[in-house]
Structure formats: structure tokens, C-alpha cells
Amino acid sequence: MPTPEELFAIIVFSVIGLGAFRFGKIHQRWQQMVIGITLMIYPYFIPAGFWLYAVGVALVAALFIFRER
């Protein structure tokens, strides 16, 4: 069973990933689609704790780094 902290991270990063994926699909931007899919899937492969949040924050930051202007 996941702890409340893990469950919170899974829900938050999955919702952000879903939003990024939908945005990328609507605007045909493959970078946002890939990062969105990764945000939705990675919590199932990363163990709980610091790395769960560190990878999530890094992927969310990647959304802003790889955006097209």
C-alpha cells in the first residue's frame, strides 16, 4: 500500500502529466506529449521518498525548458 505522501505525488504528477499530454496533442508538440506520458508512468517505477518528488519536479521543469515560444 502506498503511503499518503506517495499517493499525493502519484495523483499530482499524473494530473500534470495528463494536462501536458493533452496540451501537446492539441498543439502537435511531441516534447510535451512525451513528458506528459512520462509524468503519468514514472511514479510506478520509482521507489517512494526523495526520488519520487525529485524526478517529478525535474520533469515538470522540463515542460518549461522544452516549450516552444
3-state class of 46 per DSSP?
coil
Angle ∠(32,69,20) on CA atoms, nearest 5: 20
Angle at which helices 30-41 and 50-65 pack, to 10 degrees? Answer: 170
Amino acid code (one letter) for 64: F
Statement: residue 31 has pLDDT above 70: yes
CA pseudo-torsion sign 46, 52, 54, 55: positive
18-30 residue pLDDT tens: 999 999 999 999 9
3-state class of 66 per DSSP?
coil
**pLDDT over 70 percentage in the chain:** 99
Residue 69's pLDDT band (cuts 50, 70, 90): low
